[in-house]
Each structure stands twice: as C-alpha cells, then as structure tokens.
C-alpha cells in the first residue's frame, strides 16, 4: 500500500511519533484529533509505505562505556562503483561505525564512529580503517560537545 499524499493528521502523527516513539495509540489518536482505530490504520499505512522506517531508543553512549564519538573524513584512491561498494560493505561490518555518508567534493565519506576511549579509536583507525586497500587519507574530528541534537526531520503539522 503506497501512501503518497499526507494530510495534516498524518503530519501530526509523524511529528508526535518522531518526538515520542513510545506513545500509545490512544494518546497519539487524542493528539491527532481522531479516534484510536483510524489512528492505528494510519500509522500502519505510514509504516507500510516506508515513511516510518522504524523505531529505536536514544541510548546514552557513556552509560555503556563509549566515551568518545568522532566524525572521520575518508578519501579513497578510486571512486569506481565497485570500489565505493566495497568500502560501504566494509563499513557495514564495523559496529563502531554508526553512520556512513557518501559525499561529493574533496572528501568521499563521512563516518560517525564511537569508541570506548582514544586508544580503542586509534587501534581501529590504524588496524582497520587505514588498512583498507582503497583508503587514501583519513581525517578525524572529535566531538567535544553536542549543544543540539534533534532526531529525524522538521515536520510542520
């Protein structure tokens, strides 16, 4: 079931779910101004059409011992499709690489990487990332502070 056109109620549902993925259907329906059964049908339709891609928890990395987060810029020697695909497949193998973006411009990839400490990150950098055959250069930018972090996208509704 493909749902292309979103009305104001759909947008209200999306905004509230994005802000609070654990909201009950009854609370969500009340917020959206509709009854629970049609609200649930709308949510399921939004999920089936891949507008809602999933649900997750925002876990404090420090609570599990991940003391540092870095953005790492990676330049490759070759940008052939097979080389890009190979790099992306390799990144999917590393649990500490939490996000991987293909960019245009001077840098090929931007990675968001978590590590327990600097020694752990340094080991990953030298033993894993720099060891990939097609990697030409790597530049690390540690996150010092996160003054703003919003999930998702802006939704007017």
State mean pLDDT over 38-60.
95
Contact at 8 Å (CB) between 132 and 140?
Answer: no
Host domain of residue 14? 8-48
Q: pLDDT-based confidence at 2, cuts 50/70/90?
A: low
Q: What 3-state class would DSSP assign to 153?
A: coil
Residues 70 and 14 in one domain: no
Residues 79 and 133 in one domain: yes
Task: State how far the Cα of 52 lies from the Cα of 49, in Å rounded to an integer.
Answer: 8
Total domains in the chain come to: 2
Does residue 148 belong to any structural domain of this protein?
A: no
Instruction: Judge whether residue 157 has pLDDT over 80.
Output: no
Does residue 53 belong to any structural domain of this protein?
A: no
Domain CATH for 96: 3.30.70.920
The predicted pLDDT at position 147 comes to 96
Residues 106 and 134 in one domain: yes
Q: pLDDT-based confidence at 156, cuts 50/70/90?
A: confident
What is the percent of the chain where pLDDT is above 90? 95
pTM for the predicted model, two decimal places: 0.87
Q: For the chain, give the mean pLDDT.
A: 95
Beta bridge partners of 149: none
The predicted pLDDT at position 36 comes to 97
Instruction: Judge whether residue 4 has pLDDT over 80.
Output: no
Residues 28 and 89 in one domain: no
């Amino acid at each position: 079931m493909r749902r292309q056109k979103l009305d104001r109620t759909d947008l209200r549902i999306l905004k509230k779910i994005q802000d609070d993925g654990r909201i009950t259907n009854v609370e969500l329906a009340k917020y959206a101004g509709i009854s629970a059964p049609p609200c649930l049908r709308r949510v399921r339709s939004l999920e089936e059409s891949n507008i809602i891609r999933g649900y997750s928890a925002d876990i404090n990395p420090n609570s599990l011992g991940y003391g540092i987060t870095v953005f790492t810029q990676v330049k490759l020697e070759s940008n052939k499709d097979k080389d890009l695909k190979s790099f992306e497949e390799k990144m999917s193998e590393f649990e500490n690489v939490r996000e991987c973006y293909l960019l245009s411009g001077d840098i090929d990839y931007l990675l968001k990487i978590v590590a327990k400490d600097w020694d752990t990150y340094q080991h990953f950098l030298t033993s894993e990332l720099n060891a990939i055959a097609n990697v030409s250069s790597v530049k690390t930018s540690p996150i010092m502070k996160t003054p703003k972090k919003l999930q998702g996208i802006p939704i007017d509704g």
